[in-house]
A and B are shown apart, each in its own frame.
Chain A
Amino acid sequence: MSMPNDEATDVQLTHEQLLAKAVSVLESDTQTDTSLLKILSEYIVKQNPKSTAVSDAVRKIEALAQKRAEESEDAPPDHD
């Protein structure tokens, strides 16, 4: 029986290599929101993520949205 055994193919990639490749595809795309990708890489797209990975990433994404919202927000009135 002949068995396929092409060591140069993608099937031999380690998980880290596969994930790094997927992330680099996104990084090379100018449309990619790199801040979001950084959050994904730090919490989700990694080997052995923490059990709190999803909630941690949600918090980070919320904070990112708030920061972006506040950057264009008017300061509230202040007088006395």
Chain B
Amino acid sequence: MPHPITIEAFKLEGFRAYLRPQTVYLCRGKTPLSLAIFAPNAKGKSGLVDALEYYFSEDATLARLGKRQAQTHAGPLAMEHVDAEKSGIAPAVHIWFRQDNDKFDEARLVSKSVTTAPPFADAATRVLSNIKLPFIIRGYELRSFVEKDTPEDRYKDIVFWFALDPLLTIQQNLRALRREVKKKAESKTEENERLRDLKQTTKDAIETWDETKLCGWFNINVLAPLDESLSLTSLSAEDNQYQELVNRKAAMDKQLGVATLNQFTAHIEALFVSSEKQEDEPKGKIVVFENAVAAYAAAFTREAEERAKASQAVFNDVWASAKRVFEDTKTDFGNCPVCDTALTSTLHGSREKILVGLETKLTKLAAYRMAEGDLKNATKALEDALRDLIAGLGSVISSLQDAGYGDKTKWISAYLESLKSWKTGDSAPSSEEAVKELKTLFALVTVERERIEEQQGDHTYTNALKVVDDLIQIKSHLNRIHRTKTELQALHAELNRQALVINKAIVEHTQNLIGKLQESVDSLYKDIQGGDGNAPPILFQLPGEDDTNQQRVQLLIDFAENRKGVIPTGYLSDSQIHTLALALRLSAIRMFNEGVPIIVLDDVVTSYDADHRKNIAAMLAKHFDDFQIILVSHDEQFFNLLQDHLSSAKWVFRRITKIEPKFGPRFHDHRTPDEVIQAKLDADESAATEMRQAEEEWLLDICRGFGVKVVIRSVDRPFQFERSGCVGSDRMR
């Protein structure tokens, strides 16, 4: 077990209310000391705790101030004293630690930046690597736990105190995931879109999927006008009647000449297709050929360049052999083994430079070989593209003649001829006029086909087949949507099961942790609350699978034999819940932070009456004698109780008496050093204020030595002076 780490001192400068540097010492020799500080409200006592929290904060902020400045959070900007910059002070918190004989310290600067946190001190990293739980307990956290409305919120608090928040994030994400997947599984958006298509296809006759009804509608309204003997029994391409429909459409197309027109448009589209969308590139054999010409030209140029660079390629083998010789560092030579020239007299001048030169030449050869390969591939691709294009143009011209458009192929034929005489390496012949002609012909054929189809009226086999195809498509989509939803529902159910297992593991882990602490919690609880009553056992409960809240974990207690698993509020008083929380935190810190026995308590007694405060003081003396405790309170009675109960050998008791805007909080034992006064006098400056302060400090010290309670006169009305308001004698020892 390594030696524990304790704090020897910490210094604040330009931080929160502390403008001028102030150091708080927490050791006597090698012995760590605990510290109790009393201060009235708004005098800077919490700034000391803030400094410790800041020092160990990854985000360089305080939990209550948030990570960034916003209307709801002050953010890191609030760390710096408002006058620090003006006063030329670099705001920082500096902490000195000790681990046995090893002393280490580091300052952490304060930055106003809300985007970049100041670097995390290595010293802080070392300390944090020895602890598992946050060791600062704030009174407002405990009060918040008391005031929480829901058992789930209390569970969240405990999870945070036990540094289990990453697990809480997992639980929250699992809950959100379950909710989202459920929503998707139940969504009808896509299905409704397809049903809208169905309604449109059936001309508002049918709104929901009913295949029998749809077949009936199709047979009566679409097929019967064509041939009453035809009748679909299912919406499937496998249906015999569907196949009959396909055959009749093909026969009709042939009879009307539409088949030829279709063949012709297919041939044109193989040559050139330009999409209506501007962002889509044209496609087809013409484009493929023109791209291949461009790729060939680039490869040709590149190959020529690389060939020029490697013009001495014939020496490849010589260079490769020479490189091996020059790389062999075991063999020493003064003359070049290839040409017997002294190395210093060669072009490169040294063995190392010759080796670099050889490597460069060989690299150039490799680049040439690659360019040569690319050119071969580009040549092959170009030859293929040209052959395809010539064949495609021939097919178009032939089908145009079949369709009676033989006299409209002037530019296409010319383009074909130019391709036949085209030589590799030439520019691609212009396809512009040929493409124009193809587009014109495509439009003409389309118009002609539409005219023929229009002449047939609405009741054609083409239309009938289109309707049945649309219905089959909708059926297919709906089936897919249904199957996807079924799969999603199954996945949702499985997700619930898996989430439950993971959630249970996390909750059981937290529950085990609480269970392990129960004995300690009981002991602390009894000592704080007084009497014999143990702390009520805490239990975490996962609601049932059908719970609409998606498994929110609840914190409950076993209050009595016949009141098990009940919500704490209503059975425990506020102070009991407060004590339960405090006992839990103290017990957990004790269990998990053995390497750093430090606890910081910020105003943790405000919920208690005088008896309970006394009990807390006694509890600290009894149970945490081996801890270094830093405690701040605005409760003077509690502070006095601490002085009565805690050993002055291990504790330091300090009071903050006032706060000075140009300095910061002043401790009762603050001393204005003689050096400060002397420095002012040496600089011919007035030292009146410093001398007055030094006299006041001396006088206050004398008074307190006699046990006189001293009240500092308010400075907002200095002209009014009431003796009774300045000095009291209500606490004479």
Contacts and interface: CB of A to CB of B under 8 A. Distances in A.
Interface of A: 1-6, 9-11, 13, 15, 18-19, 21-23, 25-26, 32-33, 36-37, 40, 44-49, 53-55, 57-58, 61-62, 64-66, 68-70, 72-74, 76-77, 79-80
A76 B473 contact: yes
A4 B517 contact: yes
B472 interface: yes
A48 B173 CA distance: 11
B523 interface: yes
A76 B173 CA distance: 38
Contacts of A77: 237, 469, 472-473
Nearest to B175: A54
Contacts of A53: 173
A49 B169 contact: yes
Given A47-B166, A73-B480, A76-B473, A18 B591 contact: no
Interface centre among A10, A49, A77 (most CB of B within 10 A): A77
A10 B512 contact: yes
Nearest to B167: A15
Interface residues of B, number: 50
A15 B486 CA distance: 35
B174 interface: yes
A47 B663 CA distance: 44
Contact of B516 (A4, A47, A62, A68): A4
B484 interface: yes
Nearest to B503: A22
For the complex of A and B, the 4 pairs showing the least CB-CB separation, nearest first, are: A69-B483, A22-B505, A65-B487, A77-B237
Given A11-B516, A22-B502, A73-B476, A62 B184 contact: yes
A10 B509 contact: yes
Interface of B: 164, 166-167, 169-170, 173-174, 176-177, 180-181, 184, 237, 246, 262, 469, 472-473, 476, 479-480, 483-488, 491, 494-495, 498-499, 501-502, 505-506, 508-509, 512-513, 516-517, 519-520, 523, 587, 590-591, 622-623
Given A9-B512, A44-B170, A1 B623 contact: yes
A33 B491 contact: yes
A73 B483 contact: yes
24 contacts: A1-B520, A4-B519, A10-B509, A11-B513, A11-B516, A18-B506, A22-B501, A26-B501, A32-B494, A36-B495, A40-B499, A49-B169, A53-B173, A54-B173, A54-B177, A57-B177, A65-B484, A66-B487, A68-B483, A69-B484, A69-B486, A76-B473, A77-B469, A79-B237
A74 B509 contact: no
B184 A26 contact: no
